[in-house]
Amino acid sequence: MKAKNKFAAILTVVTVGLTTSLSSVQAFSESSNSENKRKPELVFPVISDVHIDDGSTADMNKFRTAMDQLNKAAPKQDAFVVVGDLTDYGNATEYDKFFSIYNEKKQADVQSMFTMGNHDYWNGLSVEKAQNLFFEKSGMDSLYYHKKVNGYDFITLSPENGNTHGLYSVNQINWLGEKLAAAEKENPDQPIFVFLHQHIKDTVYGSDLWGTQENKELLYDTLKKHPQVITFSGHSHYPLEDPRTIHQKDFTSVGTSSVSYLELEPGKLQGFHPEGYRDISQGMIVEVYNNEVIIKKRDFHKDDWTGKPWVIKNPSKKNKFKYTDDRDQLPPSFAGKDKASIVKEKSTLRSLNVTFPQAKDNLLVHSYHITAKNKETGELDADFTAFSEFYHDPVPKNLEFPVAGLKPGTDYEIKVQALDSYNNTSKKVLLADGQTKALEMVSAQASPSLVTTGESTTLQVKMKNFGNDSVKGKIKVDAPEGWSVEHNELEYELSGSEEKNMPIKAIPSKESSGSSQFTITAYEGGQIIGSKNINVFVNMILGESFDQLDSALKPAVNENIPSSILGWSHTAPNG
């Protein structure tokens, strides 16, 4: 019994230790009833870019999901803030749909705060009428305003027209300066929360392209006098996973992503709307303790948190800032065993597919720089950057990208280098050698394409070898019913750089009439090089199809047009 009890005691200790460890990992993910858990002085969600659209229910469903998850994760909210683009076009019906969901889901005692976004102006109304509609529907009584929530200052700004980059007037910015000065005087070390739709230029990820333009220096300089300011802005839709989404220099700036859909910076292989971008929906919950602000990032589409929370200690002290531009000097790295390889079955005349394992980084591998060096010329025939797909959850362990724009029948060295969000590059690069396909089916056509009973046509198949070595293959003809062909399969061999025409005679049966379609397929070994369909017309009068007479047309004669242009001659084509 003693031995058994001792084992039980050990098991209990191990279980308690494991539970404690898991709890520490998940402490930010769900509320706990633990007596040791600190109680925040202030809790409020921040979301942005909900984009309720009259033409779709998808964004309404995303908004409902977001509200449900925020209520579950933060059952006692003091405020709720939406920083613009509540709607897609600012229509009254879109506002009604937004607030039908919000008013149903919001907590009873929460202080609601909304800013206008540029999309909320896009209803065809005048600026003044668009603003009045926003006031009427949101219950806000001003375009910019100040509130106290549990003793903390909330300052809300709005753009003053529908310009994409936002207009924050001198009057609004001067008003902001007055409110900031008063808040700091009352509580010098306490964080001040400022909300606006567009990012402040050159702060968070996305602010270089989507930040404020007009009066941007005045806005920044007004905020920089108060390091305890924490701004929240949306507009860019850029994801929360990138570490640059929080930025500290003269004050703290936070990007809020989007409930509606993801967007990214241009210039990468996947584009600024990568595959699956409409499936991604994000927001955040802010918890405020004595001299500490914790921001928890939420993937609504996964019903889970993403990444570790951002923790801002002593927000009024710039020398304590840790989310700075120079915070990351460590480059990403590949493991010693990591290799890149070419997916041979996906090689084409002008592209190769490269696959490789993801690199590691202390913060985030953001993208990969990929080049293809032509081994014959030494030139880079392909040079591009591709996202690491860090915005997906889970992030794929291996990636595969097409390397396009290459030359046929050419040997290439593919090089892959990892980059993090701060442009640190991996010292190790992954290399892979590959050769593009050399063989191409250049064309396949019937001459003539219009025949009568008893006449034959010739299927002309042109093949070209772009490589230096000879190649062998075959042409397979799938003939329509009622036709006989000279060769159902025709073997060929092309020497280096050779181009060859291969004729195959075809004859229709007496019963054939109308349009007939041949399928010509070219093979090299057992792999398909190309496939083309050819239409031949039997016993058809001209009025039924002029377009199919292309092979019967000749250069125009006695006409003042270039002979390279095919057109009607003075003698009608045969048939």
Write out the DSSP string of 106-128. S-TTPEEEEE--GGGG-SSS-HH
pLDDT category at 569 given cuts 50, 70, 90 is: low
Helix (H) or strand (E) segment spanning residue 147 = strand 145-149
Q: What is the pLDDT of residues 323-334, one digit of tens each?
A: 999 999 999 999
As a whole number, mean pLDDT of residues 201-223 equals 96
Residue 379 near residue 366 (C-beta atoms within 8 A): no
Parallel, antiparallel, or unpaired for β 304-305 and 310-313? unpaired
Q: What is the dihedral of CA 272, 277, 280, 282, to 10 degrees?
A: 20
Q: What count of other Cβ atoms lies within 10 Å of the Cβ of residue 566? A: 14
Residue extents of the structural domains in the chain: 36-320, 341-435, 439-567
User: Among the CATH numbers 3.30.930.10, 2.60.40.10, 3.40.462.20, 3.40.50.880, which is that of 341-435?
Assistant: 2.60.40.10
| Residues in Cβ contact with 98 at an 8 Å cutoff, skipping those fewer than 6 apart | 50, 52, 63, 86, 87, 137
Pairing type for strands 365-374 and 380-387 reads antiparallel
Residue 452: Cβ within 10 Å count:
12
Question: Do the two domains 36-320 and 341-435 of this chain adopt the same fold?
Answer: no
Angstrom CA distances, 394 to 271, 304, 397, stand at 20, 12, 9
| Of the candidates 31, 38, 33, the residue with the CA atom closest to the CA atom of residue 70 | 31
For residues 56-84, average pLDDT: 97
Q: What is the mean pLDDT of the segment spanning 210-217? A: 95
- pLDDT tier, 245 (very low <50, low <70, confident <90, very high otherwise): very high
Whether the CB-CB separation of 288 and 152 falls below 8 Å is answered with yes
Answer yes or no: is pLDDT of 192 > 70.
Answer: yes
Confidence check: pLDDT of 15 > 70: no
Class of domain 439-567: mainly beta
In this predicted structure, which of 23-32, 91-100, 357-366 has the lowest mean pLDDT?
23-32
* Intra-chain end-to-end CA distance of the chain, in Å: 106
Question: pLDDT-derived band of residue 413, with 50, 70 and 90 as boundaries?
Answer: very high
Could you read off the pLDDT of 262-273 as tens digits, one per residue? 999 999 999 999
pTM over 0.95: no
Q: From CA 524, how far away is CA 502, in angstroms rounded?
A: 15
- Residue among 250, 228, 176, 197 at smallest CA distance from 83: 197
Percent of the chain at pLDDT > 70 equals: 88
Class of domain 36-320: alpha beta
Strand 282-289 and strand 42-47: pairing? antiparallel
Choose among 501, 476, 500, 502: nearest CA to 489. 476
d(CA 59, CA 255): 20
Contact at 8 Å (CB) between 342 and 433? yes
Decide: residue 502, CB within 10 A, 0-12 exposed, 13-18 middle, 19+ buried: middle
The answer on pLDDT for 5 being more than 80 is no
pLDDT at 407 over 50: yes
**pLDDT score at 25:** 34
Q: Tell me whether strands 282-289 and 252-255 are parallel, antiparallel or unpaired.
A: unpaired
Count CA atoms within 13 Å of residue 247 on its CB side.
26
Q: Mean pLDDT over residues 211-222, rounded? A: 96
